[in-house]
Amino acid sequence: MQDKYMQKIYVGAAVLFAAIIAMVLVIFLVIVPLVKNVTRLAFLDILVAPVDASVMINGEEYRNAIYEMEPGHYTAIVTREGFNEVTVDFDLEKNKTAGLYLYMEPTDGDWNFYEKKENQDSLEVLLRLNNYDSDGEEWWPEISPIQEKNGAKEVVEKYKVKSILPVNISLCGEVATRMTCNAVKVEYKYPKKCADNLCLVISGRSKELPSEALSEIREKFAEGGFDFDDYRYIYMQDSRL
């Protein structure tokens, strides 16, 4: 009799424990997300160049990313040593994504900062902020940089060819195997032969750049709206292609 009584107690305790666990799971998996979604339904997409700039929004620091935030009015103060400070006021609305898109102007007016090897991530952002997208993706929301600077436009004009790179070419014999094909690739890199500056690097399996490959490269550049002769290039042999 006592054994049955104890068994009932154990079963009851187990049921109670399972119910408590289920309730906790419901709270954390259902109720908490619902409450969060009700109070935080605005999103902010931040994209700033240079990429290491400090973005302070209402006293809190942010980086380049997409954030879920409470709807309301905000003030962003963007700072970085060597660049002019930028202050922006904006509003976030429920169920909408806003974009904080801006690039900073060098204090000394020297836009070469964005072209240096160690700052290539910032160059990519600068290009994107001037209606260039290396991935071919559409902006959402539609991009609208906060400022227009002639110096930035000149840099972008110089490197907008990145939108069609890399260019890949394969010159094959009658039997299309790796041994009978001469693979050629055109990229933008920072080789030592260009004094660590950005320039077109043409890589191929052969010791010298085949003339027919150069002709195809010119055609692909022309198809993209670019003149290959406007750009400095070097050729490098790469047997791994």
State the pLDDT at residue 136: 47
35 and 46 inside one domain: no
Asked which of 130, 162, 194 is the last residue of a domain, the reply is 162
65 shares a domain with 118 = yes
Task: Enter the pTM of the model.
Answer: 0.69
Mean pLDDT of 153-164: 88
Residues 90 and 34 in one domain: no
> What angle do the packed helices 120-128 and 150-159 form, to 10 degrees?
100
**Residues 99 and 121 occupy one common structural domain:** yes
- Give the lowest-confidence range in 7-21, 78-92, 222-236: 7-21
| Pair 65, 145 in one domain | yes
Decide if pLDDT at 139 tops 60: no
| Residue 121 lies in domain | 42-162
Q: Is the pLDDT of residue 111 over 60?
A: yes
> 86 pairs with which residues across the strands?
78
Report the domain count for the chain: 3
* Whether residues 61 and 4 fall in one domain: no
